[in-house]
Homo-oligomer: A and B are copies of this chain.
């Protein structure tokens, strides 16, 4: 029964019960972590054969190129072909970098700030003001990049089909709006796949800023854990078809395909952008680690083979997501204190509490030894205006730990909801 429909007396009773449960959890001194989208040990073990792919000098040739030596700023040819296959673009449009797409994203924004982009009239550091669109809930590390350069972050609500495009189209008419974050497939944290219409409207945006930068973070492009692989369109050709070829930089990585700390990341962009950005990058780096690039190409082979590997990850991840959803259903169904999504890919379950409960819920979780992503993290500046979104990352703990952690989480959420109904929070926070 809905908590708010209970009588005051019933609420008090429920509060006593939940408080007792919370106390018993706290006594167990748990230490469980659902804070980040980290693959679990089993996933790492599954792909650790990648360590043995290159064994000697004879394995280190990519065609005529010895990958052990200096050179090849844009990445080795076979790795550019591999990522082009994954993303559906052309190898000439692909830059293969190091172990982190986050770093490539940061660098792209940093280059805009220090040097300007291809169509900038000046570096962004010389602009009076730079504004940036942030679909939210979204990825905290995205927001932090643009925050760190002092941009004004403008929240754009997510809908079932992606960012609110009416609002986006309106906002980009401001020439100070220089760019936008997106995670088009299995958005972080909602797990939403942008609809065909949303993608088309993004590709055909008419921003006032000639150097508007659409950051297309395809982090979960092949990351289904349930059901069949869902194809996605090539954003580069869609933008090009709309005369926006130079507007978009796409990003991807093998961080959740092979080893998160030691994968290979890439960006893809128009050839004009590629020529420009590599001319600026030329001062920064001779090349990223080409041995690891080749190691990945030999291990992953091509898109089909990689999709097969992803089914192995799915087999490990699916029971974890099912556990999260099962406990949420069991503990919270019908109480009307939260709603949550049922993603089929990506790394998160996004849950919205009744307004004003997220921070308190997670503070209680911390007290009970369960670490979650900070409340508010999914919003620009860490400020969730309704204090309701919570990102659950089920990938790291085991199914057994998850069962426990999620039960604790639900207990904390119920406690927070009852405190709020009974106006008890202040007493408890002392």
- Which residue numbers of A lie inside 8 Å of B, CB to CB? 36, 38-39, 41, 44-45, 48, 51-52, 54-57, 59-60, 66-72, 98-100, 102-103, 106-107, 110, 113-115, 123, 125-126, 141, 144-145, 147-149, 255, 259-262, 280, 282-292
Whole-angstrom CA separation of A52 from B295 in the bound complex: 12
Closest CB of chain B to A221's CB: distance in Å?
19
Whole-angstrom CA separation of A179 from B101 in the bound complex: 31
Selected A-B contacts with CB under 8 Å, 22 pairs: A36-B70, A38-B69, A41-B66, A48-B57, A51-B55, A51-B56, A51-B59, A52-B55, A68-B260, A72-B261, A100-B285, A100-B288, A102-B285, A113-B114, A114-B114, A144-B283, A147-B283, A259-B291, A261-B286, A261-B291, A262-B290, A289-B292
Of all chain B residues, which has the CB nearest A103? B285
Whole-angstrom CA separation of A207 from B280 in the bound complex: 30
Contacts of A285 on B, CB cut-off 8 Å? 100, 102-103, 106
Whole-angstrom CA separation of A72 from B38 in the bound complex: 13
A-B contact sample (17 more), CB < 8 A, given A68-B260, A148-B283: A38-B70, A39-B69, A44-B66, A44-B68, A48-B57, A48-B60, A51-B291, A68-B261, A69-B261, A98-B98, A102-B284, A102-B285, A114-B125, A125-B125, A261-B286, A262-B290, A289-B289
Give which listed residue, B126, B148, B286, contacts A115 with CB less than 8 A: B148
Whole-angstrom CA separation of A292 from B50 in the bound complex: 13
Closest CB of chain B to A169's CB: distance in Å?
29
Whole-angstrom CA separation of A285 from B126 in the bound complex: 25
Contacts of A147 on B, CB cut-off 8 Å? 283
Whole-angstrom CA separation of A72 from B99 in the bound complex: 14
